[in-house]
Amino acid sequence: MIKVGIVGGTGYTGVELLRILAQHPEVEIQAITSRTEAGMPVAEMFPSLRGHIDLQFTTPVDAKLSECDAVFFATPHGVAMAQAKELLAAGVKILDLAADFRLKDTQEFTKWYGMEHSCPDVLAEAVYGLPEINREAIKKARVVGLAGCYPTSVQLGLAPLLSPQSTGGKQLVDGTHIISDSKSGTSGAGRKAEIGTLHSESSDNFKAYGVKGHRHLPEIVQGLKAIAGHDQIGLTFVPHLTPMVRGIHSTLYVRLMQAGMDVDYQKLYEDFYKNEPFVDVMPAGSHPETRSVRGSNGLRIAVHRPGNGDTLVILVVEDNLVKGSSGQGVQCLNLMFGLPETTGLTQIAVSP
C-alpha cells in the first residue's frame, strides 16, 4: 500500500482528495493536516466521508509526514516549497496542487504570486503535472507541480493543433493569436469567505475577471510553448465566474494557416487522444456540458469549424476539482508508483 499524507485537508481540493483516495485500492491515508482544526474528526467537518475516513486532523508536526511514501499539498501557494527539501531528504514524493512548482521562471513566479521562491533547486527538477503531455517524465519524478484547472482545459484543448507529433511539423494554426474564453464555478476560488463568491453575490450573475492579467496566463503560455516546441505563442486569456459550484468550460479560438485549411480536425483530435482514458473527443457537432463531467476525472472536447472558414473553435469541459486538480493529482500518483493510470479514478460523472 502507498502511504499518503495530505497537507491542508479542509479545503475543497483537500476533501476531494479524501473522497477519491478513500476508494483507492492501493492507498492508505496516513495523515491529514490542519493547524486550526487539529483534533477534529474529518467526518465531523465533512459528513460525506462518514464510514470512509476514520482520521482526525493533525498539526503538521504531529502528522509524521516523513514516514509517508507521498504527500499531497492542498494548500495556499508557498507552503509546499517550505517543506519540500525535508520531505525529499526522507525519500517522500511530493505532489503540489498549488503553484509552487509550476512556473519554471522564478521571476515570473514572484511577479504573479507575490513571494520569492525559496527552493529553486527543487523547482528545477519538478515535473509539470499534466499526464497527457508529460506522462513519461511524471513516472520518474520526485516532485510534481500539478497543472492548474484553467491551464488543464486550455492546454489539452490546443495540444493536437500545436504538437509536432500531431501536425507532422506543419504550422496548422496561428499560434501567436489564440483566444481562450474560460468559465469556472465558484469552487475554483477555494473554501474561504469572500464577498464575490457568496451565494447572493454569485448566484444569478455572470462576470469576467482578471482581464488585465491572470496568474494562470504564464502557466498556460509556458505549457503551450513546451507542447509546440517553440516560443511563438500568443494567448489572450479571459476567465469568467459562473453561478455554479463545479465545472470549467473553455471556448478556444484559433485561426487556421494555409497548411491547415484542408485538415480533418475531428480525426486529428480523435487520433491524438485515442489512447487517453480521461479525454473524450466527442462526435462532430457536439456541445459538451459541464455537468457531463461533474465528479469525474474526465475531460470532454468538441471541435467546430463554423462555416468551414478559417477559424477553429474548440470546446472543453472538465470538473475543476477533479481533472482540474485532485483527480489529476491521483492520476499522477498512479504514474509515479507504477500503477494503472485509472486506479481509483473510474467514477462516472454525476447527473443530473
Do 169 and 88 fall within a single domain?
no
Do 161 and 305 fall within a single domain?
yes
**68, 119, 149, 332: which is the annotated catalytic residue?**
149
Annotation says 149 is catalytic:
yes
Q: What is the biggest distance separating any 2 CA atoms in the chain, rounded to whole angstroms? A: 63
pLDDT in tens, the chain (352 residues): 999 999 998 999 999 999 999 999 999 999 999 988 999 999 999 999 999 999 999 998 889 999 999 999 999 999 999 999 999 999 999 999 999 999 999 999 999 999 999 999 999 999 999 999 999 999 999 999 999 999 999 999 999 999 999 999 999 999 999 999 999 999 988 877 788 788 888 889 999 999 999 999 999 999 999 999 999 999 999 999 999 999 999 999 999 999 999 999 999 999 999 999 999 999 999 999 999 999 999 999 999 999 999 999 999 999 999 999 999 999 999 999 999 999 999 999 998 8
Do 154 and 300 fall within a single domain?
yes
CA gap 319, 335 in Å, rounded:
21
Q: Tell me the CATH number at 34.
A: 3.40.50.720
Alpha carbons within 13 angstroms on the beta-carbon side of residue 331 total: 31
Do 164 and 288 fall within a single domain?
yes
Do 92 and 172 fall within a single domain?
no
Do 119 and 159 fall within a single domain?
no
255: cell is 485561426
What was the pLDDT predicted at 64?
92
The Cα angle at residue 234 between residues 121 and 189, in degrees rounded to 5: 65
CA gap 348, 298 in Å, rounded:
9
Q: What is the pTM of this model?
A: 0.96
CA gap 325, 8 in Å, rounded:
14
97 closest CA partner among 348, 260, 330: 330
What was the pLDDT predicted at 200?
84
What was the pLDDT predicted at 190?
81
Do 116 and 190 fall within a single domain?
no
Structural domain count, the chain = 2
Do 210 and 106 fall within a single domain?
no
What was the pLDDT predicted at 36?
87
Residue at 144 is within a domain = no
Cα 170 from chain centroid? Answer: 28
CA gap 142, 122 in Å, rounded:
9
Domain that holds residue 248: 150-319
Do 184 and 304 fall within a single domain?
yes
Do 40 and 84 fall within a single domain?
yes
Q: Tell me the CATH number at 207.
A: 3.30.360.10
161: cell is 493543433
What was the pLDDT predicted at 296?
98
Do 278 and 172 fall within a single domain?
yes
Do 101 and 166 fall within a single domain?
no
